[in-house]
Structure formats: C-alpha cells, structure tokens
C-alpha cells in the first residue's frame, strides 16, 4: 500500500518531520511518500495562506496518484483544499483535522485543539462545525508561529505544553488535538506527560487511510466530488484547467 502525505506548505524540514511521524505508525507493507509543493507559502497561518497553498497541493495530489499512491493525507490542520483535491482523484483524500476529530470522538466526550496563532482559530471553529463536533470541541492558540516549531531554541514547544495544561484545567478536555502538522513529533511524549490522549492528526489520518484502502473504498464521483468539467482557465492559472 502506498500513501501520499502532502505538506501543503513549502518548508522541507517540516515535511521531513511529518513523514517521520507518518512512518512511525504505518503498518508493515505501507509505503509513505511525504512531499511538499514547490510553490506556495512557507507556512499556513490563516485564510489567505490557505487559499494560496491549494494550487500546489492539487499539483502534488495529481502527480502522486500517477506515481501509484492509493490514498492521500493532507497534512495541514486547516484541512485546506480537501474538497478540491477529492474532485481530481478517485483515491481517498483525508485531512488531518477531520481525522483527529474522528479519533477523539472514540476516546472521549470533550476535546480541545491546541493550535499555533489566534489567526487560525476561526478556521478551527469552522471545521468543528463542519465535522459535526459542536458542543464537543473548542480551539485554543498557543501563540507560536508555525515555523517556530522548527526551531528548538524558540520556546514554542513549552508554550504548547502550557496551553495544553490550561485546556485540561479550564475546558474539562478529555483529549487534546495537536492543531498543526508541525507538532506531529510531540504526540506520544505529551500523551505520557499529560495523562490523556494527545492526538496527532498525521498519525490518525494515516491509519484511516490504511483502513479505507484495505476496504477497497474510493471517493464517490456521483455528485459533489465529480471530476471538474472541461473548460479553459485564464492567465496564471491556465495550466490548472480541467482536461
């Protein structure tokens, strides 16, 4: 089985971390290919970055399917471009935010997403609603830029730890969701330290992808995820025109 893990930002060090987290939970016989696009933002913080990461993401999804990928994990907790990605391929496409929420639903009643900056909170709140988790989850920001997670001297990890402790004390949370793929390497250590499930969406998405592929299931093409109709695109996006 081959799973494509796409980090939608262009920071290669983060892609390597994400790939390592994915491989650490993959079953024997599952190949993980971790990639990032050549174009787009170096980090995804808010709606503007989300919009401009999507063309690069779509490019990687289509190329990965041609290389034999049987499922795709979109490794950004904003779940950017998920719907668009599902229209250009039949293989399952899984966002790490939805995967983490689904896993949390099996493990506890209430969860808190601990993300990076406050600019990401509206996106998190919207995804909680989209995935039917209102009343069960909330989001908090640790106040750290995404790329600070790549710098051990930044103090970012300690800020994440502190925000998790506040979530446990103030939210009554039974599970913590790490609200950035750049936190993927912290889940096991924090689970042991905090005494409750701390869920990395990358790992959760890989296991869900393995399940969908194992069941022989693919993305429905009946309506909303039907392939895009053939039409020309203009200007800089000409090369993205459906054909």
Give me the mean pLDDT over the 74-79 stretch.
98
Q: Do 2-96+203-240 and 97-201 agree at the fold level? A: yes
Q: Strands, DSSP E only, in the chain?
A: 2-6, 31-35, 71-74, 93-95, 111-115, 137-141, 175-178, 198-200
Q: What is the pLDDT of residue 30?
A: 98
**CATH number attached to the domain at 2-96+203-240:** 3.40.50.12500
CA dihedral 43, 121, 81, 177 (to 10 degrees): 90
pTM of the predicted model as reported, rounded to 2 decimal places? 0.95
Give me the mean pLDDT over the 131-157 stretch.
94
Q: What is the pLDDT of residue 102?
A: 97
Task: Give the strand pairing for 175-178 and 71-74.
Answer: unpaired
Res. 146: pLDDT tops 90: yes
Res. 90: pLDDT tops 90: yes
Q: What is the pLDDT of residue 243?
A: 86
Q: What is the pLDDT of residue 97?
A: 98
Give me the mean pLDDT over the 76-96 stretch.
97
Phi, psi of 197 (to 5 degrees): -65, 125
Res. 71: pLDDT tops 90: yes
Q: How confident is the model at residue 185 (pLDDT cuts 50, 70, 90)?
A: very high
Domain boundaries, the chain: 2-96+203-240, 97-201
Give me the mean pLDDT over the 67-79 stretch.
98
> How far is it, in rounded angstroms, from Cα 53 to Cα 45?
11
- CATH fold for the domain made of 97-201: Rossmann fold (3.40.50)
CA dihedral 59, 63, 69, 70 (to 10 degrees): 60
Q: Which residue has the tokens 């993980």?
A: 32
> How far is it, in rounded angstroms, from Cα 236 to Cα 163?
42
CA distances 232 to 221, 226, 243, Å, are 22, 18, 9
CA-derived radius of gyration, the chain: 17
Strand partners, 34: 5
């Amino acid at each position: 089985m081959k799973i494509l893990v796409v980090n939608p930002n262009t920071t290669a060090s983060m892609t390597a971390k994400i790939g390592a987290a994915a491989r650490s939970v993959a079953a024997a016989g599952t190949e993980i290919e971790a990639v990032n696009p050549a174009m787009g933002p170096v980090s995804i913080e808010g709606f503007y970055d989300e919009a401009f990461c999507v063309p690069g993401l779509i490019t990687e999804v289509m190329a990965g399917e041609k290389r034999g990928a049987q499922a795709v994990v979109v490794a950004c907790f904003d779940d950017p471009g998920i719907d668009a990605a599902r229209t250009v391929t039949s293989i399952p496409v899984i966002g790490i935010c939805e995967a983490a929420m689904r896993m949390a639903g099996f493990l506890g009643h209430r969860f808190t997403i601990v993300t990076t900056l406050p600019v990401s909170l509206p996106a998190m709140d919207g995804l909680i609603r989209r995935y039917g988790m209102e009343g069960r989850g909330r989001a908090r920001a640790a106040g750290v830029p995404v790329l600070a997670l790549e710098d051990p001297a930044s103090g970012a990890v300690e800020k994440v730890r502190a925000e998790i402790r506040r979530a446990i004390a103030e939210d009554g949370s039974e599970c913590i969701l790490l609200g950035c793929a750049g936190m993927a390497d912290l889940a096991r250590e924090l689970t042991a330290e905090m005494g409750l499930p701390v869920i990395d969406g990358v790992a959760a998405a890989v296991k869900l992808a393995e399940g969908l592929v194992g069941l022989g299931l693919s993305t429905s093409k009946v309506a909303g995820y039907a392939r895009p109709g053939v039409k020309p695109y203009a200007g800089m996006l000409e090369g993205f025109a459906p054909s």
